[in-house]
Structure 1
């Protein structure tokens, strides 16, 4: 157990007091350091990554569910060092380097310290930097679960499926391309022209510029039908995907709107073989351990777009809102 003198009474944090406001709505504050309760650990944070869901919560898109209470310290994907453990925690001790996904209701990632559930905290080996590890929980977790929904297997037993990854140079897309190749899938990807070489370097078999007629059509250059689509962008209708799918092809929509949910329900009711499947991440420790292990082995990499100190968290926030990042936007906590 860490001694009380190792942890200060207060910490620097970034929070917002109301929904809306974007980066201008973020405030730098000094607040009490939280304490670990049952089955929780207190982390001294080293890095956090911003995901689109973070500013969508601030915008009010997930009301009334989130934010549960204001003021709210946003961000859930973090890496740091365990400084204290609550009752009931096994397998984690003070001094452990870790990656964690914080509770979405409580947030807390844009701060010097945060409390994480021991069930969503995994040890981070020396080979994995804090920035690399902090990129994993939402983005890589979503990519992994989307590919599993298509039928991808990561133990060598899977079938050789064809998959399309849209917006392949974004946070989820870059992980999806790599994980699909680890599952021995044939990968067609769309992205902007400036990122085509990067996406190819991560293993994509076919890469299309989404701004060209060929890319906009989403058709595989080699004429393959898709067994699955990891759909990481918006504005593409089900009718655009349907003719491109194999007989039992699935489109996994990671940002489903109301229309997508209705379409999915209709497919289930009519027992359609081709389906639109909305995906909401189901965080779990086993997936996070798998992903950290792949990073350690060099089989997966976190592409970092940019790094900002906590004092410039508003710039990181705006960069995510702008939507042009290639990979992850990292906020680092200065010592």
Structure 2
């Protein structure tokens, strides 16, 4: 691609919310380096971490030499150009990719993706569906499997009782579907308007988070939770979680980082508690993204799109993200 050619982009330029948080700009099209590819973006999905990361970048801007402050990490698109040492992709390939949290770049006509965090996109997945998967889907996948909840997605393994908070959101709606692939009983919380939606995702019990039972996180059938996947932005005190946990129950908090959570983790460690609060730090891996795309291709995981916005109205999508009440995913299409 010709050097110096410009592209449209949305640039994060203030810590304010809504449409004042981003603005439309024209910036040079980036060039791929070693192990990188230039993608023509077809769709971009937004995640709360995009806003949080770029607020941090705004504060640290003087220390970043390559800081364009273009938000978003989840993209679906077409490979335009490959850099040196890229072996598994070529121009014209349709792909889905998760970009670096601190490099971002998804809210633009073109972006730079690394080969190791990019997978081929099957024709069954639309650009919007594919772009919705990476951060939210990978977060749900990681919390439920392997070293965290330890659920086997082939349905084997011991029965586990799971609680998923904010189950109608981006991470939550994937977490319910993935959990039900395993041998689980799923209790979920959401707003009253989404009770039927979450039931249709497969949850066994659904609580309105505004009711006394919902605020207390109590299972209607009296079950104690082996694992809680805490997706809600509400920072529940440990005293709410603890009586609802089984003897060795754990809370996996995808939003951990507040002082209360850090203190709770410390106290539980020094008191040798069998019940644990575990913070999640997502490190996206290409193999995990490939697994997630395959599950979606097979129809085992379906994406719900809260809203799809044209790029020209990308600031409206950004405002919707910050509002925090989306059902499923917010997507921007080119």
TM-score range, shorter chain: over 0.9
- For the pair 1:120 / 2:121, whether they are aligned, the reply is no
What is the aligned partner in structure 1 of residue 9 from structure 2? 13
Per-residue deviation, 1:213: 1.5
3-state SS of paired residue (2:163): strand
C-alpha distance in structure 2 between counterparts of 1:161 and 1:154, whole Å: 12
3-state SS of paired residue (2:158): coil
C-alpha distance in structure 1 between counterparts of 2:62 and 2:237, whole Å: 27
C-alpha distance in structure 2 between counterparts of 1:89 and 1:278, whole Å: 34
Per-residue deviation, 1:216: 1.7
What is the aligned partner in structure 2 of residue 285 from structure 1? 286
Asked if the contact 1:177/1:187 (under 8 Å) is kept, the reply is: yes
Tell me which moved more, 299-308 or 141-150.
Answer: 141-150
Over 6 Å off, 4+ runs: none
- For the pair 1:137 / 2:138, whether they are aligned, the reply is no
Asked if the contact 1:139/1:175 (under 8 Å) is kept, the reply is: yes
- For the pair 1:93 / 2:105, whether they are aligned, the reply is no
- For the pair 1:185 / 2:184, whether they are aligned, the reply is yes
C-alpha distance in structure 1 between counterparts of 2:291 and 2:230, whole Å: 23
C-alpha distance in structure 2 between counterparts of 1:325 and 1:26, whole Å: 19
Structure 1: which 5+ runs fail to align? none
3-state SS of paired residue (1:169): coil
Q: Cα RMSD (Å) of the superposition?
A: 2.0
C-alpha distance in structure 1 between counterparts of 2:275 and 2:95, whole Å: 40
Q: Note closer, same or farther for the CA distance 1:65–1:327 as it changes in structure 2 (3 Å cut).
A: farther
What is the aligned partner in structure 2 of residue 45 from structure 1? 41
Asked if the contact 1:166/1:191 (under 8 Å) is kept, the reply is: yes
What is the aligned partner in structure 2 of residue 221 from structure 1? 220
What is the aligned partner in structure 2 of residue 320 from structure 1? 321
Asked if the contact 1:11/1:112 (under 8 Å) is kept, the reply is: yes
Q: Note closer, same or farther for the CA distance 1:78–1:67 as it changes in structure 2 (3 Å cut).
A: farther
C-alpha distance in structure 2 between counterparts of 1:135 and 1:65, whole Å: 28
Per-residue deviation, 1:18: 4.1
C-alpha distance in structure 2 between counterparts of 1:93 and 1:188, whole Å: 44
Asked if the contact 2:61/2:67 (under 8 Å) is kept, the reply is: no
Aligned to 1:25, which of 21, 25, 35?
21
- For the pair 1:264 / 2:261, whether they are aligned, the reply is no
Tell me which moved more, 150-159 or 54-63.
Answer: 54-63
Asked if the contact 1:20/1:58 (under 8 Å) is kept, the reply is: no
Q: TM-score, normalized by length of structure 1?
A: 0.93
Asked if the contact 1:22/1:58 (under 8 Å) is kept, the reply is: no
Per-residue deviation, 1:84: 1.1
Structure 1 segment 289-304 matched on structure 2, within 5 A: 289-304=290-305
What is the aligned partner in structure 1 of residue 151 from structure 2? 152
Q: Note closer, same or farther for the CA distance 1:157–1:64 as it changes in structure 2 (3 Å cut).
A: farther
3-state SS of paired residue (1:15): strand
Tell me which moved more, 112-121 or 66-75.
Answer: 66-75
C-alpha distance in structure 2 between counterparts of 1:216 and 1:62, whole Å: 35
Cα deviation code 1:123-175 (max 9, x no counterpart)? 11001111111111111111111112122122443221000000100111000
What is the aligned partner in structure 1 of residue 244 from structure 2? 244
